[in-house]
Amino acid sequence: MKTSRLSAAVLVALIGLSGCSLIPQYQRPQAPVDQTWDMPADAQANAHRLNWEQFFQSTVLKDLINQSLTNNRDLQVAALNIEKAQAQYRISRADLLPTIIASGAGDSQRVPEDLSTTGDNRITHQYSAGVGFTAYELDFFGRVRSLDQQALERYLSTVGAQRSVKVALIAEVARAYFQLQADQQLLAISRQTLTSQQDSYALVKSSYDQEVATELDLSQAESTVRTAEAAQARYERQVAQGKNALVLLVGKPLAPEYFAAIDLDALHVDEQLPVGLPSDLLMYRPDILSAEHELKAANANIGAARAAFFPSITLTASAGSASADLGQLFAGGQGVWSFVPSINIPIFNAGRNQANLDVAKVQKSIEIANYQKAIQVAFREVADSLTARDSLNTQVIAETLLVQANQRNYKLADSRYKEGVDTYLNSLDAQRNLFSSQQSLITTKLSRINNLVSLYKALGGGEGADINL
Query: How many CB atoms within 10 Å of residue 438?
Result: 21
Contact 142, 23 (CB under 8 A): yes
Q: Residue 344: its pLDDT value, please?
A: 85
pLDDT tens digits along 444-455: 999 999 999 998
Amino acid at 16: G
> Is residue 317 within 8 Å of residue 147, measured between CB atoms?
no
For the cut 70, the answer to whether the pLDDT of residue 6 exceeds it is: no
Residue-level pLDDT at 254: 93
Q: Among 4-13, 73-82, 197-206, 357-366, which is the least confidently predicted range?
A: 4-13
pLDDT, the chain, mean: 84
The larger pLDDT score, comparing residue 19 to residue 326, is at 326
- CA 389, CA 391: separation in Å to the nearest integer? 6
Q: 69 forms bridges with which residues in the sheet?
A: none
Task: Write down the pLDDT at residue 71.
Answer: 92
DSSP string, 38-73: SS-GGGTSS-----HHHHB--HHHHHHHHHHHHH-H
pTM for this predicted structure: 0.80
Q: How confident is the model at residue 399 (pLDDT cuts 50, 70, 90)?
A: very high
Does 16 score more than 70 pLDDT? no
40 burial type by CB count under 10 A (0-12 exposed, 13-18 middle, 19+ buried) = exposed
In tens, the pLDDT along 66-91 reads 999 999 988 888 888 888 888 888 88
Q: Which CATH architecture has domain 21-95+140-300+355-458?
A: Up-down Bundle (1.20)
What span, in angstroms and rounded, lies between the C-alpha atoms of 244 and 126? 72
Residues 413-446: tens digit of each pLDDT: 888 877 777 777 788 888 889 999 999 999 999 9
Helix H or strand E segment including 321: strand 312-323
What's the pLDDT band for 256 if we cut at 50, 70, 90?
very high
Are 299 and 364 a contacting pair, CB within 8 Å?
yes
Specify the higher pLDDT residue, 148 or 113: 148
pLDDT in tens, 33-58: 877 776 655 455 445 667 888 889 99
